[in-house]
Amino acid sequence: MNAIDLPKLRNAEYLQYMKDFAGIINLNDPATLQIDAKLAAFNAKNAELEELFKKALANDRTKVILALDERRDDAINGITFFLQGYSYHFEESKKQNAQKLLANIAIYGSGISRQNYQAETATLNNMIRDFEDKPDLAAAVTAFTLQPWLDELTDANTQFNTEYLSRTQEYGDANPDTIKSKREETNVTYYALRNRIDALHILVETPPSPYTTVINQLNALTDQYNVLLVHRQEVMPPENLVLP
């Protein structure tokens, strides 16, 4: 069965992948396939993880974090689209200034707002520092009167990081049964289920194997998520790649 790098999935992606994985197996008569016991253990851990995830989303600080993340995404996207328009300007000086700033943004990837939380925070901090410290970029910022945009981006990113770290501290202090540890427990049942399917498939002496259909369906699911991870790797600078 196809492999996937589970730690690189964000929490919501991880939970959805696990639910989809179980859902496909449920559609293929797990009792007949002799995997119902492993599936039951896997489903139990999925349910525990989902409950923990729901509690995290319900946390008031989480709502603030989501709003701040949207705010900084709007700021970096606004800056980028503004500069893209000027990169076609008929005045050569404006065109060159826009291209300089866009070239610097491109260093950090074409999808900054799609990076995971920690990576986006680091990327924006580095980009803002470039705009402030590199004379040619600072001059371009001044020429476009972009400072209010940068102030908004800086403020949103700083507040986001403060809230994110505070929430992480709260989770650690209040509940030792963290999402990370629950994911690790879920991984154990996932691999046990996946390995049983593979083992039973290999042991089939007379084809066709009754496991071929479910394996093909599960591989199609895994391939979809692997494409997502490959795309994220392509748009994220290697030095800023942080696991979810």
Q: What is the CA radius of gyration of the chain?
A: 23
Average pLDDT over residues 161-189: 80
Question: What does pTM read for this prediction?
Answer: 0.55
What is the rounded CA–CA span in Å between residue 232 and residue 135? Answer: 31
Is pLDDT at 142 greater than 50 in this prediction? yes
Average pLDDT over residues 122-127: 95
Residue 236's pLDDT is: 45
* SS3 at position 95: helix
User: Among 47-56, 100-109, 181-190, whose mean pLDDT is lowest?
Assistant: 47-56
Mean pLDDT score across all residues of the chain: 89
The rounded percent of the chain whose pLDDT value lies above 90 is 71
Average pLDDT over residues 165-179: 67
Residue 211's pLDDT is: 96
Residue 240's pLDDT is: 38
For CA atoms 168, 14, 153, 63, the dihedral sign is negative
Residue 233's pLDDT is: 62
Structure tokens at 223: 């391939």
Cα 55-18-32 angle, rounded to 5 deg: 130
Residue 127: pLDDT band with limits 50, 70, 90? very high
Instruction: Give residue-wise pLDDT tens across range 55-104.
Output: 776 677 888 999 999 999 999 999 999 999 999 999 999 999 999 999 99
Q: What is the domain partition of the chain in residue ranges?
A: 6-59+176-240, 60-173
Average pLDDT over residues 110-125: 89
Distances in Å between the alpha carbon of 171 and those of 65, 68, 162, 224?
14, 19, 14, 31
Residue 239's pLDDT is: 37
Residue 172: pLDDT band with limits 50, 70, 90? low
